[in-house]
Amino acid sequence: MFTKTANRIFQEVIQKYHIHNEVDQVFENPYDKNAQLIEHLLYRKCWIDTVQWHYEDIIRDPYIDPVAALKLKRQIDASNQDRTDMVEYIDSYFLELYKVVEVKNKAKINTESPAWGVDRLSILALKVFHMEEEANRIDASQEHRLKCKQKLDILLEQRIDLSKAIDQLLEDIAQGEKYMKVYKQMKMYNDEELNPVLRKK
């Protein structure tokens, strides 16, 4: 199943990141994009999500220096664009993979593309990791750990369900029961022609 591979790679990424646990650490992708394209894309995707997770923690510091906060906001904006680009690369992989499938007359379209499901699965892996940390925090109260353990159980169940749904979607596409239709994310705020503030500059 596809999500078995995806979940394994997401855990690899998160464990690797937390060895140094620094947002500016050097990124190295262990999967060759020519020999292992989907693995390469999944690893890169989750790394972007993991760094951005920690960006979001840092910027919520109530005492953060305003200049540093502005710089970090720009980094978050760039990370969001990278995240969207990676989703589109992953969908392109699936479009190529299933391009020869004969779509059945009664085939249905899904509410989201496979890669946006993968996006949610990557974020879910981060939620699981950090909720597990909280559930086992020795400096936290027993009440805190118990509440986090209950939330962790829900997240783990959610990962099972989401993984199943993604695998079923891919199987349906492979069988021609559903078809992919991908729309590029037409973000306007980074475009100098579409954002009126940037256009004035």
Written as one string, the DSSP assignment of 123-180 is HHHHHHHHHHHHHT-TTS-HHHHHHHHHHHHHHHHHHHHHHHHHHHHHHHHHTTSEE-
Res 198: pLDDT:
66
Assign 181 to helix, strand or coil: coil
Q: Per the domain annotation, does 200 fall within a domain?
A: no
If one counts the domains in the chain, the total is 1
Query: Is the model's pLDDT at 121 over the cut of 70?
Result: yes
Q: Per the domain annotation, does 70 fall within a domain?
A: yes
Residue 148 corresponds to which amino acid? C
Joined tokens for residue 121 = 């699965």
% of the chain surpassing 70 pLDDT: 94
Q: What's the mean per-residue pLDDT of the chain? A: 94
Q: Per the domain annotation, does 199 fall within a domain?
A: no
**Cα separation, 201 vs 190, whole angstroms:** 13
Q: Per the domain annotation, does 193 fall within a domain?
A: no
pLDDT in tens, 53-107: 999 999 999 999 999 999 999 999 999 999 999 999 999 999 999 999 999 999 9
Q: Per the domain annotation, does 74 fall within a domain?
A: yes
Q: Per the domain annotation, does 110 fall within a domain?
A: yes
**Cα separation, 201 vs 186, whole angstroms:** 21
- What is the residue range of 14's domain? 2-188
pTM of the predicted model, to two decimals?
0.91
Res 96: pLDDT:
96
Helix axes 2-20, 142-174, angle to 10 degrees: 140
Res 195: pLDDT:
72
Res 5: pLDDT:
98
**Cα separation, 53 vs 76, whole angstroms:** 9
Res 82: pLDDT:
95
Res 194: pLDDT:
67
Residue located via tokens 């960006």: 55
**Cα separation, 87 vs 127, whole angstroms:** 19
pLDDT in tens, 156-178: 999 999 999 999 999 999 999 99
Res 190: pLDDT:
66
**Cα separation, 163 vs 117, whole angstroms:** 9
The beta-strand segments (E) located in 117-201 are 178-179
> What is the DSSP secondary-structure string of 16-33?
HHHHH--TTSPP---S-T
Residue scoring higher pLDDT (5 or 200):
5
Q: Per the domain annotation, does 66 fall within a domain?
A: yes
Query: Is the model's pLDDT at 51 over the cut of 70?
Result: yes
Joined tokens for residue 40 = 């390469």
Res 189: pLDDT:
66
Task: Count how many Cα atoms sit within 13 Å of the Cα of residue 190 in the half-sphere of its side chain.
Answer: 13
